[in-house]
Each structure stands twice: as structure tokens, then as C-alpha cells.
């Protein structure tokens, strides 16, 4: 049994040695007639596999040298990235005119929320009584009602109110002149 193992190892190592030596003798190209530098010449004597193992710059060049054997480049990159992706053709882009939306409409003032109830004319100024829902406002010229309306003027037959958010003037009839 012990002899069998020894025979197995001898055969295995012999075959491995032969496989390692074969490329050195059979892959060299002794008939190359190109001018070669001394660095390339030393690599040629050792064979292309030795040149690959040493990683010399001469085998990485793109010009033909002694490292080329059987019409194959020895410096082929075995681990280079390859892709089967083909970029799709671009479709022509059609220019479409863009229509801008119309400008927003000018905001409208709401109708006056007040109803005329009556007025009081004393010697100093005219006071007007206005009803807004359940509230009753007593106003005169210059007063501001709820922060939205300002009384600009009061006459015998009407009054002018300024809507403060939009600065628009509105008028309200307050009766006729007696």
C-alpha cells in the first residue's frame, strides 16, 4: 500500500513537471526577425509565459514584439469588462409650443355685508347705523369696521366704504336728503 502511494506521487509530480515545462519549449518563436531590444530579447529566450509572469512593459506595448506567438497577443487582458449592451437610438424630439395659462382673474370685492338702518345727524358729525347679521354698528367718517372696511365719507344720501384688503371703494345708499 505504501509503495502504491509513492508510485502515485511520482507519476503525479512527473506529469505536473512536464505540463509546466511544455509551454516554455513549444510556445517560443525562434524565427522572429524583428529588431528587439535587450529587455525583449531576454524575455524571448525565456518564452512568452515568463514574460507574462515578470509583467514587463515590453509585452504590454501595442507594437509587435517577440512576445507574440502563433498570431496571438500574449498581453490580452483576460479580466477586461465586456458588455453586450447596445444603446437604443434616440428618437427625434418634437418641439411642442407651450401655452401659458391665462393670468389669474383680478379678485372681486364681495358685496357689502351691511344693511342701512338709520342715521343720526348732530351738530358735530353724521352717525350711520348699519346692520351686519346680528350686529349693529354705529359708524362715522374715519371709523374702521371689523378691520376690513373703512368709512371714507358720509353724505346726506350715501356713504363710501373702502374695502381694505383690495383698496376698492364701494358705496352704500343711506337715504335721501330731508
Q: How many CB atoms lie within 10 A of CB 153?
A: 14
Q: What are the grid coordinates assigned to 116, written together?
A: 342701512
The pLDDT score that the predictor gives to residue 157 is 87
pLDDT in tens, 105-150: 888 889 999 999 998 888 888 899 999 999 999 999 999 999 999 9
For 115-173, CATH number? 2.30.30
Please list the residues that pair with 170 across neighbouring strands: 161
**Whole-prediction pTM:** 0.43
List the chain domain ranges: 2-60, 115-173
- Per-10-residue mean pLDDT of the chain, 178 residues long, equals 87 90 74 50 55 54 47 67 88 87 89 91 87 93 94 90 93 79
Q: Which residues, 6+ apart, have CB-to-CB distance to 173 below 8 Å?
A: 116, 157, 158
Amino acid at each position: 500500500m505504501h509503495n502504491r502511494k509513492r508510485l502515485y506521487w511520482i507519476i503525479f509530480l512527473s506529469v505536473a513537471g512536464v505540463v509546466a515545462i511544455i509551454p516554455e519549449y513549444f510556445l517560443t518563436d525562434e524565427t522572429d526577425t524583428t529588431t528587439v531590444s535587450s529587455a525583449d530579447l531576454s524575455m524571448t529566450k525565456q518564452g512568452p509565459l515568463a514574460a507574462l509572469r515578470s509583467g514587463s512593459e515590453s509585452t504590454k506595448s501595442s507594437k509587435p514584439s517577440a512576445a507574440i506567438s502563433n498570431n496571438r497577443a500574449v498581453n490580452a487582458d483576460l479580466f477586461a469588462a465586456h458588455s453586450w449592451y447596445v444603446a437604443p437610438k434616440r428618437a427625434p424630439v418634437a418641439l411642442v409650443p407651450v401655452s401659458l395659462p391665462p393670468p389669474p382673474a383680478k379678485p372681486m370685492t364681495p358685496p357689502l355685508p351691511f344693511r342701512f338702518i338709520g342715521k343720526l345727524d348732530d351738530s358735530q358729525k353724521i352717525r350711520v347705523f348699519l346692520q351686519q347679521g346680528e350686529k349693529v354698528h354705529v359708524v362715522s367718517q374715519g371709523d374702521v369696521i371689523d378691520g376690513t372696511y373703512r368709512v371714507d365719507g358720509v353724505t346726506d344720501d350715501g356713504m363710501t366704504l373702502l374695502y381694505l384688503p383690495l383698496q376698492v371703494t364701494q358705496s352704500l345708499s343711506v337715504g335721501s336728503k330731508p
